[in-house]
Structure 1
Amino acid sequence: MIPISATNNQFVLQSTYPIASSVSIVCGMSVYINDRLEWVKQAVESVLNQTLPADLFMIVLDGEVADDIAIYLTQVEKENPNLALVHGTTNKGLSACMNYIIDSTLPLKPRYFFRMDADDICVPHRFEKQATLLDKHDDVDVLGSALWEVDEQGNRAGIRRLPLTHSKLLYAFSRRCPINHPTVAIRYSVFARGHRYLPNMRNTQDYFLWIALAEDGCKFANVKEPLLHFRRINGFYKRRGRGKSVNEFKARLLAMDSLKQKSLQNYCYALFVLILRMMPSWIIKVAYKADRFILGLNKHN
């Protein structure tokens, strides 16, 4: 057993137990000041209670967090040998937190990196299902899944599905982010090739990473079964920030260019979505439900 060598002075590792010298599955999650204790507990417990547990579950406290969350995480870290906390000196954003986990754990030669968000809930067999499929299909580098959308009380509001096969996913890149980020499992061989989340991105970082991986020849797939409960909180349909909407527009343009998908139809679609994001929330809500319905029609692709 050896400790992880923390080389980044912007992050401080807290681990009561030594880290194994070799691990197979790493799960990465971050929490920040606006997270809610109840949801963080549900997220953490859903990871710790997996039928195939992560060998290492790393949670980054991205800058200052609420006292009750800090106390809870400190206690749960002491009770679970496979859980380690990382304290960020300041809020750096999701990209920096995930990149720290990736860089810190690469020397341990893991096989799979699982993403988790602090307000979502994994189904109990999520890790086992995705790890088994990746074991069987060594040509797949990034594996996502469908998800249940739930409200603030945890009530299911519907299923969000995306295309299943690489060819269908690749075709979708210029239209939408084709992988539900909180559901993803990624081979560490992808990171060994030098790929990382863009550190300067505060949103849509997953979309840009998928485009870079697709351009590099990585293969994608989605599991048809919903393997995560995704929290659709109040304000979900409100206007997105201008920065996020612009970044999504830039990602679509990048996908068209990088993946040779330039067309008048794709350009018009990207511009239409950008304009739509600036509309009142009720229009966005109708458009979102229509989009989910269309995705449902294509769920067998």
Structure 2
Amino acid sequence: MSTYARETAANLEASLDSLWAQTVLPDQVVLVLDGPVGDDQEAVVARHAAGPHAARLDVLRLPDNVGLAHALNAGLARCTGHYTARMDSDDLCLPDRIELQTRCAMQTPDSDFLCSWNDEFFDGGGPVRLKVAPVTHEALIAALRWRNVIQHSTIFVRTDSLRAVGGYRAKYGLLEDYDLFVRLALRGARFRVIPKVLVHIRASLDQRRRRGGLRYALNEVRFRLDCRRAGFLDTRQFLVITALYTVFRLISGGLRNRLYALART
């Protein structure tokens, strides 16, 4: 988990609490402070560092804000477990997340990458939206060629597999998770989805605004061109998907939000 100055103390507190409420506790929670954070977040960290699960909490402080990809790589270097799970500092794990993902990993030893369904909620209310993904490896990879159907905060991956591909890359802006999934797939990782909501994802309009505009669209074109060169996409897929998503990123925010609602259910 990585947090930074713009996160709220209440969100961070709730996220950490959801980890300590697990039916099977994580052996280690690596919390990366991506640059200086406010006194309110520092107070949350201090409480948990002195709490009943202090021995499981590993706090890593970065002197400057380096961005999510670099912060996660710094945290990955501190992970000691055979598997590494991911979570954002404003999301909430259901109590059985770690138990179910650990059990699935033990029952399917050929799986390198596990994730789950999730739902999205807004702080100000509004409908909760369910995000699903295909369950089998083959169906998931087929869907992944067209769009990112994996929620980053639900993943549970062999640590060695993450390190073997070099962890995260920041070269495509906010697409560091999608880029990671594609590189894992190209390396032969086996994917599996647990068809159950295991994480509540906090959504915001600001988050969706960041995923639009010319700069984001250009990063997406560069990313998909890289996917084509690597053989993850064929020429037809590249042309069709790039055209559709370039239009999607450049349309007005209100229309894009409505399309998001359709795409995520």
- Give yes or no for TM over 0.5: yes
Q: Shift of residue 247 of structure 1? A: 2.5
Cα distance in 1 between the residues matched to 2:170 and 2:233: 26
Cα distance in 2 between the residues matched to 1:82 and 1:242: 43
Give the match for residue 112 of structure 1: 83
Q: Shift of residue 193 of structure 1? A: 2.8
1:59 maps to a residue whose letter is L
Cα distance in 1 between the residues matched to 2:127 and 2:107: 31
Which of residues 249, 255, 261 is equivalent to 2:221?
A: 249
**Aligned alpha-carbon RMSD (Å):** 2.0
Identity of counterpart residues, as a percentage?
26
Which of residues 71, 96, 99 is equivalent to 1:125?
A: 96
- Equivalences for 1:39-50 in 2 at 5 Å? 39-50=11-22
Q: Shift of residue 265 of structure 1? A: 4.6
1:74-118: CA deviation from partner (whole Å, max 9, x where unpaired): 22112122112111100011111211122233xx4x211010101
Secondary structure of 1:227's aligned partner = strand
1:266-292: CA deviation from partner (whole Å, max 9, x where unpaired): 412222212211111121022212223
Give the match for residue 36 of structure 1: 8
Matched, 1:97 2:71: yes
Change (3 A) 1:155 1:139: farther
Larger mean CA deviation between 29-38 and 77-86 belongs to 77-86
Cα distance in 1 between the residues matched to 2:157 and 2:228: 23
Secondary structure of 1:204's aligned partner = helix
Cα distance in 1 between the residues matched to 2:235 and 2:171: 29
Secondary structure of 2:242's aligned partner = helix
2:75 maps to a residue whose letter is I
Q: Shift of residue 236 of structure 1? A: 4.3
Cα distance in 1 between the residues matched to 2:90 and 2:142: 30
Cα distance in 1 between the residues matched to 2:125 and 2:2: 21
Matched, 1:224 2:228: no
Give the match for residue 233 of structure 2: 261
Cα distance in 2 between the residues matched to 1:245 and 1:40: 30
Change (3 A) 1:54 1:155: farther
TM-score by length of 2: 0.91
Whether the 8 Å CA contact 1:94–1:202 is kept in 2: the answer is: no
Secondary structure of 1:61's aligned partner = strand
2:106 maps to a residue whose letter is D
Whether the 8 Å CA contact 1:173–1:255 is kept in 2: the answer is: no
Cα distance in 2 between the residues matched to 1:67 and 1:242: 36
1:9-31: CA deviation from partner (whole Å, max 9, x where unpaired): xxxxxxxxxxxxxxxxxxxx011
1:58 maps to a residue whose letter is V
Larger mean CA deviation between 120-129 and 284-293 belongs to 284-293
Greater share of helix residues, 1 or 2?
2
Q: Shift of residue 199 of structure 1? A: 4.8
Structure 2 gap segments, 5+ residues each: none
Which of residues 154, 172, 176 is equivalent to 1:205?
A: 176
1:142 maps to a residue whose letter is F
Give the match for residue 240 of structure 1: 212
Which of residues 87, 96, 101 is equivalent to 2:61?
A: 87
Secondary structure of 1:150's aligned partner = strand
1:45 maps to a residue whose letter is D
Q: Shift of residue 257 of structure 1? A: 3.3
Whether the 8 Å CA contact 2:216–2:249 is kept in 1: the answer is: no
Which of residues 159, 172, 179 is equivalent to 2:150?
A: 179
Change (3 A) 1:118 1:155: farther
Secondary structure of 2:77's aligned partner = helix
Cα distance in 2 between the residues matched to 1:245 and 1:199: 15
Q: Shift of residue 156 of structure 1? A: 5.3
Whether the 8 Å CA contact 1:43–1:121 is kept in 2: the answer is: yes
Whether the 8 Å CA contact 1:204–1:244 is kept in 2: the answer is: no
Whether the 8 Å CA contact 1:175–1:252 is kept in 2: the answer is: no
